[in-house]
Amino acid sequence: MTSNSMTVTDPAHFDNPFPVYKTLREQAPVYFEPTMGFHIVTGYQNVKKLLTHSGVSSNRQAMLQELEGKLKPGSIETYMENAKVSMIQLDPPEHTRLRALASSFFHKGTVQEWVPVMEANFHRLIKNEKQKGRLNLGNVARHYPADVICDIFGMPHYCRESYIKNAGKVAKLFGAPIDNELQTVASEANQASIDNARLIAGFIEERVDKPCNDLLGHMAKSYGDGELTMRETTTLCGLLLTAGHITTTELLCNGVYQLLSHPEQWVWLQKNPERVPDAIEEIMRFDTSVPFTIRVIKEKISLDGGDLEPGDVVAVGLSAANHDPEFCERPDEFDITRGRTRHLAFAAGPHVCLGALMAREELRVALDHLLKSCPDLRFDPDNLPQRRCDSLMFRGFKTFHLQY
């Protein structure tokens, strides 16, 4: 086996990465990827150990400093300052404090209150698409989670488009970009961080003076009470939008793609709509939108198949773990009737996805509606979906057109 055959970033593997994951799991479960300069870990038990081990860090400052060295001076200054207070890149105890605060906005009761917002947005977006006489599901999926979170934030409509566009630029740098234009990606992410933080800071100040009940209002209260600094507040808003947007957009497309690629399962789901939540779990297991996450090793760790040393950067293979035959039977078969599994699509440990409940509800609302309103949903043979190949961390589609 050549190192090339293991290159997970090779666009040739993006349509179907599962054979590469299998090769890695079987032949090099702790594999050093020479072109990217990090390790890749792929087996279920190893991945779970990394996600839950106290000797493993989510802090990417050292990586960012290395990146900074390759860029024009000052290119990612603000981005780096924000990263220092971004929950997803912190370890306990700093992480614990921010996580506890953010969790208070995302419990089961609040997510249920948001369901009508999800329904209204998804139904509107599908109706608008259909009025154009087509179904660009990529377009619907891109707007849907962003519109939901902006409604929940209480963000006025005039600035949403630029805020969402900027959040996408920030996410592009976070998502381990596979891109020759690194300087452009980095500079754009930095400017986008500045612009979005300025915008949110204005809304927070307004709500400190005039309290209100939307999500920005709750954050303004935490800021006003001294529980969050302004940088922490604006960074948390940015994180909620980016973490809850691209992930759900891509997962909806991945899910519909798998269901339509297995049309008998689409038909079965129409007859058994109460099984939509099970279908969502299988979609997440089989084709998650976050196939990898990044960790940095703090203390020596022995895994099955190799050791990791302090300072090692690791691409933790969530999707590869979900396809491990030691974790579930027939892992490379998509089967929405298989019953729930303990997949790692939302990770595990202290950083387990904060928005998992919300994501599941958003996907349920979307699939319920598609099954009812577009029973004959199918691929457009002249315009087949095209996978994006620009990120290690996000898996989805560049274009996703359907017929209905």
Q: Which residues bind ligand HEM (CB under 6 A)?
A: 58, 87-88, 99, 149, 239-240, 243-244, 247-248, 251, 288-290, 293, 318, 345-347, 351, 353-355, 358-359
In the bound state with ligand HEM, the residue whose beta carbon lies nearer, of 87 and 204, is 87
Residue type present at position 297: I
Least distance (Å) from ligand HEM to the CB of residue 353? 3
Q: Which is nearer to ligand HEM, 75 or 294 (CB)?
A: 294
Q: In the 3-class helix/strand/coil scheme, how is 96-149 assigned residue by residue?
A: HHHHHHHHCCCCHHHHHHHHHHHHHHHHHHHHHHHHCCCEEHHHHHHHHHHHHH
Q: Give min distance, CB of 188 to ligand HEM, in A.
A: 22
Element at 173 (helix H, strand E): helix 160-174
Smallest CA-to-CA distance from 319 within 72, 17, 6 is with: 17
**Cβ at position 345, least distance to ligand HEM in Å:** 5
CB of 30 to ligand HEM, least distance (A): 19
CA torsion angle for 169, 111, 58, 101 (degrees, to 10)?
110
Q: Which is nearer to ligand HEM, 204 or 354 (CB)?
A: 354
Least Å distance, CB 130 to ligand HEM, is 25
Q: How far apart are CA 312 and CA 293, in angstroms?
A: 14
Q: By beta-carbon distance, which residue lies closest to ligand HEM?
A: 355
CA distance 210 to 161: 25
Contacts of 4 (CB under 8 A, 6+ apart): 10
Q: How far apart are CB 252 and ligand HEM at their closest, in Å? A: 8
Of 187 and 235, CB closest to ligand HEM: 235
- 23 CB-contact burial (10 Å; exposed 0-12 / middle 13-18 / buried 19+): middle
Q: Residue 21 or 346: which CB sits closer to ligand HEM?
A: 346
Going by the DSSP 8-state scheme, the letter that residue 88 receives in this structure is: G
- Which is nearer to ligand HEM, 163 or 346 (by Cβ)? 346
Minimum CB–partner distance for residue 82 and ligand HEM (Å): 14
Q: Name which of 72 and 342 has its Cβ closer to ligand HEM.
A: 342
**Cα–Cα distance for residue pair 135/138, rounded to 1 Å:** 9
Q: What does the DSSP 8-state code read for residue 351?
A: G
